[in-house]
Structure 1
Amino acid sequence: MAGWEEAHWTSAVDSGVPRSQRRSGPYLKYMPDRVEGLGLSIDGGLARRAAAVERSIRELNGPRAENLAGVARFLLRSEAIASSRIEGIAPSAQQVALAELGQFESVRGVSEQARLVADNMTVVRRSTTELVDVETLSVDHIVELHRALLTDQSHHHGLRTVQNWIGGSSWNPIGADFVPPGPDRVPALMADLVDYMNGAAHGPLIQAAVAHAQFETIHPFTDGNGRVGRALVHTVLARRGLTRDAVLPVSLVLATLRDRYVAGLDAYRHDSAPGTPAAGAATNTWLEVFVESCAMAVEQSVRLVTRIDELRESWREQLTSHRTSRGRRPLPRADSAAARLLDRLTEAPVLTATTLSAILDVSYPAANAALDELHRAGILQTKVIERGATAYLAREVFELITRAERALASTSFDTRASAPNRSVPALPRE
């Protein structure tokens, strides 16, 4: 049965930190119930709401969202930025895009924070591609996902073999906000979690909610648990077929509703016997927070689809005006590099001729000509990234991301109704 276990901390620090940080003494750590085979008593209203939200998520993949494959990349970037913002990493969207380009080409001036977010994008991408395709998830898959997040920090790789905790002192768990299970319990709990994720005992949203809360409760790594835990939400939703093309910006919403998010996780960590009304009420509190967060994420996704469609239409008008002013046909052929580039800009708003050549599978001269045409039309701007090397930027995409982040940082999802409740990037200059 889930509950709190008393343990004793013996400090190994005898100097170098204040005496208050060298404390030894009792503390409580939490041991959750196993989730494989867990019977959930879900309120009828909540079950109906979850089903309705699942339908709305599936609609994002429908015919009316024909451009969603491109939007997914945009949402992936916003999700990765927001997921990292929760943990205090807040570079600009443009810096992140340059860092992503720097994974393949030499780019100077990229901040370490931007590189970390770019790495986080890799984790979210893997969670919705590689982990979706495997027949059976394993603990090793999650460990490798974590390794991809912290590529240069080998001391954090693998399931933890030490006690960790959240909040309080950096030197002892006494008085911490939450202490997860001891390291000896982690392997079995993680094996149970992947067994649950491989099944379909509950609906997709409920499964994603339980998997996320259980992972954060186990806290199996010494760092990066929050980012991996949020990535696993995408894994469940994609494996269950809810998000074939879309990547819901769930972290954007959870970051805004941080107090409710933490309170929901606290409720999930109950000490009532399985199957009792108290256990059901505690679990339902968390499930309600998660389902409503997904509902809000769907609403924001629909708005972003509309805004990106409007941006693409304005680009077409700019390109038409540019070409007709030079006596050319209004728009390039649909299969030309320029036309195909126009459709890919929201996915890759920072490009070089080399990267575009690889993306479109065209020659370097054709890629360079397409970038130059959109630059001359005022759609792209240039930036020197290395001596003799130039990148092309679609700055309107970064402006769109910035405005979306600001709106999603408002509890009303509209900064005109309520100010952002966390640190957000400045508004772009008009």
Structure 2
Amino acid sequence: MKNYDVLIIGGGAAGFFTAINLAEKTKGIKIAILERGKEVLSKVRISGGGRCNVTHACFDPKELVGFYPRGSKELRGPFNQFCSGDTIEWFEKRGVALKIEDDGRMFPVTDSSQTIIDCFLTATRELNIDLLTGYSVQAVFQKDNSWKVDTNQGAFEANYLVFATGSNPKMWQLLAESGHRIIPPVASLFTFNIKDKRLVDLMGIAAPATVKVKGLKLEATGPLLITHWGLSGPGILRLSAWGARELAEKNYQFHIQVNWLTDEVSLADAEEKLSEIKRENAKKIVVKKCPFDFPNRLWERLVVAAGIALEAKWADLNKRELQALALQLTQGEFQVNGKSTFKEEFVTAGGIDLKEVNFKNMESKILPKVFFAGEILNIDAITGGFNFQNAWTTGFIAATEISNRISGN
């Protein structure tokens, strides 16, 4: 049996960040990272399209928690201990400069996730942290005042455990058997599958819009992107995140209403605006030029969907046709039949019940000397670097607490 001061279970972002901070704070202790797969940091490698969206340029904890559908209340305290600015400083101290893009996302200036991976692996070697791949945890149980961990390659004993295994059903099941309540996982970031004549062959077209889910209090405003399978983009992803559980309960079968003029323009406003356009462009053909801020190809589809002929001039439109067009513009209804994963973002809502975790130090309230970091918790965020920030913050706090206990502080 191998003995360690701390065992980190999970070779992902949260696991490495916890181990490195712990080793730097408490010199000479024995730390190992146990990873069930052959490779480590695989999610870091593919995140942000291979560039790694490290964090987001939101530096106010009160504002930052607003990007987390689950965990916003619990993360306010932790973000006051370690926030986005601290993340930037942490990486810069290790030779990794980050840059801010127009939408606030932050990437390494190299635009390569390998830069982050190299940073972690280098620090791990320099700090003599044991990195053990191919070790699948089979069982965990208390032994006197320490913990025993059985794996497929032998047993370990450690004073402290940190679970940083992300959305791993096997680890959730193991922790459930040890007394923790697990919130069942559902997809959090996904796009809407829609088959509709209005969207056919418009792949790649994007436009700002407000989207509402009929029958639910779910609404989001942001760019919509028409794809091969339906609708995506920030507006849809925000809806999918905040409505993760409700939409799962509907088995991803529901109706949405799209306002292509955003919620600033109501149905009545649109009717009035169209009447004004009709007066000013009486002799012009309706489909030829979109009078609003979205692509003409989409405008043409909405005109046809309103029952207006392709050759019709504005002067030809009657009140019923103007009303039908206003309806398509502000309350266009689409049937959603299923979901698709958003790119490589495998984000899940679910995990360790947050009521069973002490967010002052990330320790389990059920299992003494067991800590959690990252997405193993029932915490998730929209895309933009926020899920990684959760990993950095919870990992840092767990490492700080364990270090203080070992050092007797």
- Give your verdict on TM over 0.5: no
Instruction: Return the structure number with greater strand share.
Output: 2
TM-score (norm 1): 0.25
Instruction: Return the structure number with greater helix share.
Output: 1
Higher RCO, Cα 8 Å, sep 6+: 2
